[in-house]
């Protein structure tokens, strides 16, 4: 009997050890499960935090988007106010300077000056867009350069109102002399730096070969604009003209020195609108070369007249 017990004891010890090891393994497994559960909880919390951060980021982006929208609306409202005769004074003359739409010369890169080519097909579309842009503005008189590209741009606004256009030679573009009617490529080939450097980068001090000095042409244009403004005190007048004379005139109004115009003031884009007022003594600039209304048909930026 003692022998049997002695024989069975090691087996029982071994069994007991196995049971203990199994119990410990179960405990470890339970702890691992607990750790896994905690890890899952932490992961869930991290995901929740991440989700909240994304939500915050999304809200910040939304706020930023709303701020940008508000800024855009404010700019749009300011532009609308400029156009809808929110005048600085009821005694002021309100002036809208419109550069002609794209001309055949612009489309073909030909220097026009006084050369009388009409608008291109795109130019007519631009002129109609500008007329549509200004349809709610009370315009009392419409003037234009006597050259077709400017006259027909003004006519789009006049036809909408059943008004006539008063053509004025003094509102013409600068005469480009012996460059009249020549393609830019030909001019560059023959005159090189005179066109590429002196004309483009010395705009305010340039005199065209056998043609006009830019600032003298600008003064010719300015004298005509001042005369029109005095004639229409307290009214709104549209004046259709050309790139170089509008640029020269605007630089005078803003006090930009001739030698700095090329760096500080670009050409007005085709069929764009520039707004200013005349208080009886001086011109008050409001906005230059507004052209957002042309986006649906195409905005042309050209370096020829």
Cβ atoms of 18 and 26 closer than 8 Å: no
What's the pLDDT tens digit per position in 187-215? 999 999 999 999 999 999 999 999 999 99
| Range of lowest pLDDT (6-20, 86-100, 251-265, 291-305) | 6-20
Residue-level pLDDT at 246:
98
Residue-level pLDDT at 158:
98
CATH code, 173: 3.40.50.1240
**Number of folded domains in the chain?**
2
- 114 located within any domain: yes
Q: Is the pLDDT of residue 91 over 70?
A: yes
- 301 located within any domain: no
What's the pLDDT tens digit per position in 7-42? 444 444 344 454 455 445 444 445 544 454 554 445
Same domain, 65 and 141: no
What is the 8-class DSSP label of residue 176? -
Same domain, 98 and 2: no
Token look-up 């608008």 returns: 119
- 191 located within any domain: yes
Give me the domain span that covers residue 44. 1-83
| Range of lowest pLDDT (72-86, 154-168, 206-220, 229-243) | 72-86
Residue-level pLDDT at 31:
52
Q: Is the pLDDT of residue 83 over 80?
A: no
Comparing CA positions, the residue from 100, 104, 102, 105 lying closest to residue 123 is: 102
Residue-level pLDDT at 297:
95
Residue-level pLDDT at 142:
98
| Range of lowest pLDDT (52-66, 140-154, 222-236) | 52-66
- 149 located within any domain: yes
- 302 located within any domain: no
Comparing CA positions, the residue from 245, 303, 246, 247 lying closest to residue 109 is: 303
Say how far apart CA 110 and CA 124 lie, in whole Å.
18
- Per-residue pLDDT band for 90 (boundaries 50, 70, 90) equals confident
E strands present in 139-218: 141-145, 166-168
Q: Where are the alpha helices (DSSP H) in 162-242?
A: 184-191, 193, 200-201, 214-231
Residue-level pLDDT at 54:
44
Residue-level pLDDT at 286:
98
Q: Is the pLDDT of residue 88 over 70?
A: no
Q: Is the pLDDT of residue 96 over 60?
A: yes
Q: Is the pLDDT of residue 252 over 50?
A: yes
Question: How far does the chain reach from its first CA to its final CA, in angstroms?
Answer: 127
- 100 located within any domain: yes
E strands present in the chain: 93-99, 141-145, 166-168, 236-241, 273-278, 283-290
Cα-flanking dihedrals φ and ψ of residue 207, to 5°?
-120, 125
Q: Is the pLDDT of residue 74 over 80?
A: no
Same domain, 233 and 187: yes
Same domain, 68 and 117: no
| CA 182 from centroid of its chain's CA atoms | 31
- Per-residue pLDDT band for 301 (boundaries 50, 70, 90) equals confident
Q: Is the pLDDT of residue 273 over 90?
A: yes
Same domain, 112 and 253: yes
Same domain, 202 and 284: yes
Sorted by sequence, the CB contacts under 8 Å of residue 180 that are 6+ apart come out as 111, 112, 113, 114, 115, 211
Q: Is the pLDDT of residue 81 over 70?
A: no
Average pLDDT over residues 99-127: 97
Same domain, 98 and 75: no
Angle subtended at Cα 70 by Cα 61 and Cα 77, rounded to the nearest 5 degrees: 160
Question: Max Cα separation, the chain?
Answer: 140
Same domain, 126 and 260: yes
Cβ atoms of 204 and 261 closer than 8 Å: yes
Residue-level pLDDT at 302:
77
- 170 located within any domain: yes
Sorted by sequence, the CB contacts under 8 Å of residue 271 that are 6+ apart come out as 98, 99, 100, 101, 102, 123, 126, 127, 129, 130, 153, 291, 294
Comparing CA positions, the residue from 191, 288, 279 lying closest to residue 248 is: 288
Mean pLDDT for all residues in the chain = 82
């Amino acid at each position: 009997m003692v022998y049997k017990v002695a024989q069975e004891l090691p087996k029982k010890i071994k069994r007991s050890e196995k049971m203990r090891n199994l119990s410990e393994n179960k405990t470890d497994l339970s702890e691992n499960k607990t750790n896994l559960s905690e890890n899952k909880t932490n992961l869930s919390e991290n995901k929740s935090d991440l989700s909240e951060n994304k939500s915050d980021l999304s809200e910040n982006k939304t706020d930023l988007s709303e701020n940008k929208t508000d800024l855009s609306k404010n700019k749009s409202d300011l532009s609308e106010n400029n156009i809808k005769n929110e005048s600085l004074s009821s005694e002021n003359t309100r002036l809208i300077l419109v550069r002609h739409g794209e001309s055949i010369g612009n489309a073909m890169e030909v220097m026009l000056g006084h050369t009388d080519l009409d608008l291109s097909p795109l130019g007519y579309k631009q002129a109609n867009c500008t007329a549509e842009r200004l349809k709610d503005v009370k315009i009392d008189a419409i003037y234009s350069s006597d050259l077709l590209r400017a006259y027909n741009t003004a006519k789009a606004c006049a036809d909408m109102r059943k008004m006539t256009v008063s053509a004025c030679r003094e509102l013409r573009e600068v005469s480009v002399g012996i460059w009249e009617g020549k393609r830019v490529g030909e001019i560059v080939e023959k005159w090189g730096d005179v066109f590429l450097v002196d004309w483009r980068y010395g705009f305010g001090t340039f005199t065209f070969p056998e043609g006009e000095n830019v600032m003298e042409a600008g003064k010719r244009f300015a004298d005509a604009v001042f005369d029109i403004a005095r004639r229409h005190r307290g009214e709104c007048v549209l004046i259709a003209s050309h790139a170089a004379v509008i640029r020269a005139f605007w630089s005078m109004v803003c006090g930009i020195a001739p030698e700095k115009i090329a760096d500080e003031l670009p050409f007005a884009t085709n069929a764009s609108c520039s707004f200013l007022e005349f208080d009886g003594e001086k011109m008050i600039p409001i906005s230059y070369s507004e052209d957002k209304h042309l986006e649906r048909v195409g905005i042309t930026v050209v370096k020829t007249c």
